[in-house]
A and B are shown apart, each in its own frame.
Chain A
Amino acid sequence: MLTHRLAALAWVAAIIVLVPLLFPSAYYYRVGALVFIFALAATGLNLLMGFAGQVSLGHAGFLGIGGYAVAIGPTYLGSPSWLSILGGAALSGLVAFLVGKPILRLKGHYLAVATLGFGVLVAIVLTNEAAWTGGPDGMSVPRLVLFEWRVSGSQTWYWVAAVTFIVGAVLALNLIDSPTGRALKAIHDSEVASSVLGVDVAREKLVVFVISAIYASVAGSYLALFNGHVTPDVSGFLRSIELVAMVVLGGMGSVAGSLVGAAVLVVLPQTLTMLHDYEHMVLGLMLMGFMIFLRQGIVPSLAAALARRRT
């Protein structure tokens, strides 16, 4: 099992290194960097949705916290960008802990509406506290400087985001193989049964909620640093939906799926812009089509098809 996972990771690493050889321009690095940034957030959310079986419709709230941390930290608090990334992650973790403790008791659609409410609240605060956040127009984000190294440009961010995603993926895979990961799978199958077996359901759900919030926060920080600008849209309802769509599309419970889901949903709108007015119609149709015909998600569906062929 472990060697299997390592092989998969090696494949992903090889793709990350080899794909840029085909890139004709810096624009492709930009899209690539966005794919890895969103894949990081999707991986965290996948831990919550795919393994613990809890839906969050407000995860973009944590993207927003991370994004504004690297904007407000250096601008108003004198904290360097790298420290602000960590600070944003810590704050997201703390917020997730405080919010998650009560709301994770809710089940199914009730949890969905509670997380949705959380995301909406974050977006409203970011929009209205203009003195700190610049209001609806957002604010500019100073460049990331690491030990005199100015991290800027699409190409640099491609590699930074890719390496961070790999680290995030390895950590996620380790978590899945840990006692916590097995407890989460048990919770997914049946909360009652797992609590009878001695799993502290509330605690395990809270742990994974906090972890997924930290993933989203770091992704949000990267996104803001990469764009050099951040607006309240980053924490909007549609962003949250997009993250959920990446997880479901790629395949719940599959880390590779998070990468594939993010790749599809980042690249697709970029290619659809040439359809101008028809962009949204086609995007909606494709989302419906994917969900109807590949309802297990792209990666698990393909894996099942391959397995059938081998036998």
Chain B
Amino acid sequence: MAEVLQFFFSGLTVGAVYALVALGFTLIYNASDVINFAQGEFVMLGGMSTVFLASAGIPIPLAALLAVVLTIAVGLALHRFAIEPARGASAVVLIMITIGASIFLRGAAQIVFDKRFHSLPPLFGIEPLRLGGAAVLPQSVVVLAGAALIVVLLWVFIDRTLIGKAVLATAANRLAARLVGIDTRRIVGLSFAVSAAIGAVAGILITPITLTSYDVGTLLALKGFAAAMLGGIGSALGAVIGGLLLGMLEAFSAGYVSSKYKEAVAFVVILAVLLAMPQGLLGRGKVERV
């Protein structure tokens, strides 16, 4: 039982990060139909810039804040200089642009920062908490609480503010949104900024546990994309569920099958789910006009 709990908590922690990355994918996709493969680089930028700002003598809370601001700036620049000029391009061209952006950001990070692994001190020490026989790092609780807070804040923002409603309207129907006076271009820019912020926070929270380096983004983008698709692209709830599920799958298959094949098991399950539910767990079917 203790073993199951142990895998459960480690899966939940990693899954929370996947969920945040998937949420970033979903926000940008909903506003602009772009699958942003640079989403993982936001996570890397959040963690790495905090580490380097802190090592320059800035207190960690301030460094983290600056790192989030910096990542938002990168997200906005990505939208302004790479996505906006390519408006109207096909889906696969837009994907290639974001992949180009992620190669660029990784290349820039290895120059501005370095190629080593870095860590941050955890918020509440390293003494593990005992929960039903399982050892849980306090930082895991911080990650989960942080992820939950982000999800709630995002929900409040989308559901309770006028700008949030404009985001929803843009996701539902871009032309109609423009006709009622919503500046959809600004909304897409906003979605890039929010996604960047979410990614950066995820990167800062997870760094004390998993460490960070200039190239952690690729794998996270891949997992986040898979999680978003598992949940059903376009569904925020689906992204969160998909992320947590993916984290659990990896943790349990690492524990009970083989740690070498944990990712293989995760992808086999994703394939199986998609075959049974071609729109993902919570995605809606699209009616094609001919």
A residues sitting closer than 8 Å to B (CB atoms) are 49, 55, 102-103, 105-110, 112-114, 116-118, 120-121, 124-125, 127-128, 190-193, 196, 237-238, 241, 244-245, 248-249, 252, 277-288, 291-292, 295
Contact = CB atoms under 8 A, between A and B. Distances in A.
A284 B111 contact: no
26 contacts: A103-B271, A105-B275, A106-B274, A107-B278, A109-B233, A114-B274, A117-B226, A118-B271, A121-B268, A193-B290, A237-B218, A241-B99, A244-B96, A249-B96, A278-B111, A280-B106, A283-B104, A283-B107, A287-B100, A288-B100, A291-B93, A292-B85, A292-B86, A292-B89, A295-B86, A295-B90
Contacts of A295: 86, 89-90, 93
A121 B288 contact: no
B105 interface: yes
B211 to A, nearest CB: 20
B271 A117 contact: yes
B260 A248 contact: no
A284 B275 contact: no
A56 to B, nearest CB: 11
Given A237-B218, A284-B101, 19 more contacts: A103-B271, A109-B35, A110-B229, A110-B280, A113-B274, A117-B268, A191-B288, A245-B96, A248-B96, A252-B92, A277-B107, A280-B104, A282-B107, A284-B105, A285-B104, A288-B100, A291-B96, A291-B97, A292-B86
A212 B99 CA distance: 23
B86 A291 contact: yes
Interface string B255-290: 000001101100110110011001110000000101
B263 A49 contact: no
B173 interface: no
Contacts of B101: 284, 288
Place the interface of chain B in its size category: 35 or more
Nearest to B84: A292
Nearest to A280: B107
Given A121-B264, A192-B288, A291-B89, A284 B102 contact: yes
Given A107-B278, A192-B290, A113 B226 contact: yes
A288 B97 contact: yes
B18 interface: no
B99 A106 contact: no
A120 B261 CA distance: 11
Interface of B: 35, 82, 85-86, 89-93, 95-97, 99-108, 110-111, 218, 222, 225-226, 229, 233, 260-261, 263-264, 267-268, 270-271, 274-275, 278-280, 288, 290
Contacts of B106: 280, 284
A113 B86 contact: no
A296 B279 CA distance: 29
A277 B95 CA distance: 25
A226 B256 CA distance: 41
A244 B108 contact: no
A231 B111 CA distance: 27
B270 A117 contact: yes
B279 A124 contact: no
A278 B278 contact: no
Q: DSSP class of B's interface residues: helix, strand, loop or mixed?
A: helix
Nearest to A194: B290
B198 to A, nearest CB: 20
Nearest to B219: A237
A281 B261 CA distance: 33
Contacts of A287: 96-97, 99-100, 103
Contacts of B264: 120-121, 124-125
Contacts of B290: 190, 192-193, 196
Given A113-B225, A128-B260, A279 B107 contact: yes
Given A128-B260, A291-B86, A245 B108 contact: no
Contacts of A191: 288
A171 to B, nearest CB: 24
Contacts of B93: 248, 291, 295
Nearest to B286: A107
A277 B111 contact: yes
Contacts of B107: 277-284
B92 A244 contact: yes
A237 B275 CA distance: 22
A245 B97 CA distance: 10
Nearest to A275: B107
Nearest to A119: B267
A97 to B, nearest CB: 16
A110 B279 contact: yes
A13 B107 CA distance: 37
A74 to B, nearest CB: 27
Given A244-B96, A291-B93, A114 B103 contact: no
A114 B263 CA distance: 14
Contacts of A125: 264
B190 to A, nearest CB: 22
A292 to B, nearest CB: 5
